[in-house]
């Protein structure tokens, strides 16, 4: 580990690959020979065209996207998608099914309801404090789309496999696990992901949308909230978040050229998760909060015997260069976010600390 850099387990904004940060540093004052920083160049320039087009191309290769999918980079984070999706796809007597697995699912559902759209909660894990992913869900045959959150950062749960929707387009908020493993995109009508958890810095949201979904939007949707606006302009209807897109491009480059693709990324991610869950499961001192079959590979949530020990754990961890381990303010406890850029070395340092902390305090 470089001097002055800690092991970063923040849930978002989160760790970025060191190689990406170093490339940003080295090119920051003179991007691509332009004599300007990436934060200064025109988004209409050949230099930025190269960056955004490479980001799109690498995303398509990594996910093996066919030509019927479009890759967009939008502002407003994943939270703007909560309203943008129903505005584009639900009108007249159209309705949608929502699966509620926690905070972000709940917020997505709320935005659709605020717009007066017809939505149906077909499954929820609220009965057990969102500690699991529902199974055997009965979806509506006439739904325009089905909405899920693939990974739940706060409760530490994740869909191990995606549901059979019988041809109804699946829409997924993948903010916290996009690009963490290979993905069969064909059943998805739309995927969206705020970049700041697993693929870049805050300020850009990746949207992957299928051709047939573009035909659903009525003419009354405002231009800045309509997907066709950004498809027709290569995400540049207005000035896009250039620096965030450039950084995301470098992360896609790192995934493709350094890691070697999503199959390899999944192997690394599973090794990290198994190492961390192994310490939790072999201990009476640490207790995981998610049900076994629903555990997240990205966000490992756990508790200690009492809140005083949790506070001491978080502080002593930070003193040992292990940052970002405090659980979300809505639930407390501890959380280690082990996204793509969090190294196996970092997880090893954390598990060593956990064993020593238990030895001293348990």
pLDDT at position 307, please? 97
Predicted TM-score (pTM) above 0.85: yes
Range(s) within the chain of domains with CATH label 3.90.1150.10 = 261-361
pLDDT tens figures, 244-293: 999 999 999 999 999 999 999 999 999 999 999 999 999 999 999 999 99
CA distances, 226 to each of 84, 116, 146 (Å): 7, 18, 19
Question: At CA 350, angle to CA 347 and CA 355, rounded to 5?
Answer: 125
CATH of domain 261-361: 3.90.1150.10
Q: CB of 194 within 8 A of CB of 174? A: no
CATH T-level topology, domain 21-259: 3.40.640
pLDDT at position 1, please? 42
User: Which amino acids are annotated catalytic?
Assistant: 104, 173, 197
Range(s) within the chain of domains with CATH label 3.40.640.10 = 21-259
For the chain, residues with pLDDT lower than 70 are: 1-3
């Amino acid at each position: 580990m470089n001097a002055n850099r800690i092991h970063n387990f923040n849930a978002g904004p989160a760790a970025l690959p060191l190689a990406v940060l170093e490339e940003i540093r080295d090119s920051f004052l003179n991007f691509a020979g332009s004599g300007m920083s990436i934060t200064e160049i025109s988004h209409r320039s050949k230099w930025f065209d190269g960056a955004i087009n490479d980001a799109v191309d690498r995303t398509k290769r990594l996910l093996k996207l066919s030509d019927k999918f479009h890759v967009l980079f939008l502002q407003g984070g994943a939270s703007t998608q909560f309203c943008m999706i129903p505005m584009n796809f639900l009108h007249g007597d159209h309705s949608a099914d929502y699966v509620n697995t926690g905070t972000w699912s709940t917020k997505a559902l709320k935005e659709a309801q605020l717009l007066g759209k017809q939505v149906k909660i077909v499954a929820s894990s609220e009965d057990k404090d969102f500690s699991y992913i529902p199974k055997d869900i009965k979806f509506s045959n006439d739904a325009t789309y089905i909405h899920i959150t693939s990974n739940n950062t706060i409760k530490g749960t994740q869909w191990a496999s995606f549901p059979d929707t019988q041809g109804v387009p699946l829409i997924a908020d993948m903010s916290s696990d996009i690009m963490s493993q290979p993905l069969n995109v064909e059943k998805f009508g739309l995927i969206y992901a705020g970049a700041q958890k697993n693929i870049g810095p805050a300020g850009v949201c990746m949207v992957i949308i299928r051709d047939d979904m573009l035909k659903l939007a009525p003419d009354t949707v405002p231009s800045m909230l309509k997907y066709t606006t950004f498809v027709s302009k290569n995400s540049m209807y207005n000035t896009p978040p250039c620096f965030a897109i450039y950084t995301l491009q470098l992360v896609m480059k790192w995934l493709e050229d350094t890691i070697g693709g999503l199959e390899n990324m999944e192997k690394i991610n599973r090794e990290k998760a198994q190492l961390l869950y192994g310490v939790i499961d072999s201990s009476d001192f640490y207790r995981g909060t998610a049900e076994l079959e629903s555990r997240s590979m990205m966000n490992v949530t756990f508790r200690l015997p009492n809140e005083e020990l949790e506070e001491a754990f978080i502080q002593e961890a930070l003193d040992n260069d292990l940052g970002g381990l405090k659980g979300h303010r809505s639930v407390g406890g501890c959380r280690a976010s082990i996204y793509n850029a969090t190294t196996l070395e970092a997880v090893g340092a954390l598990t060593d600390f956990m064993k020593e902390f238990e030895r001293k305090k348990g």
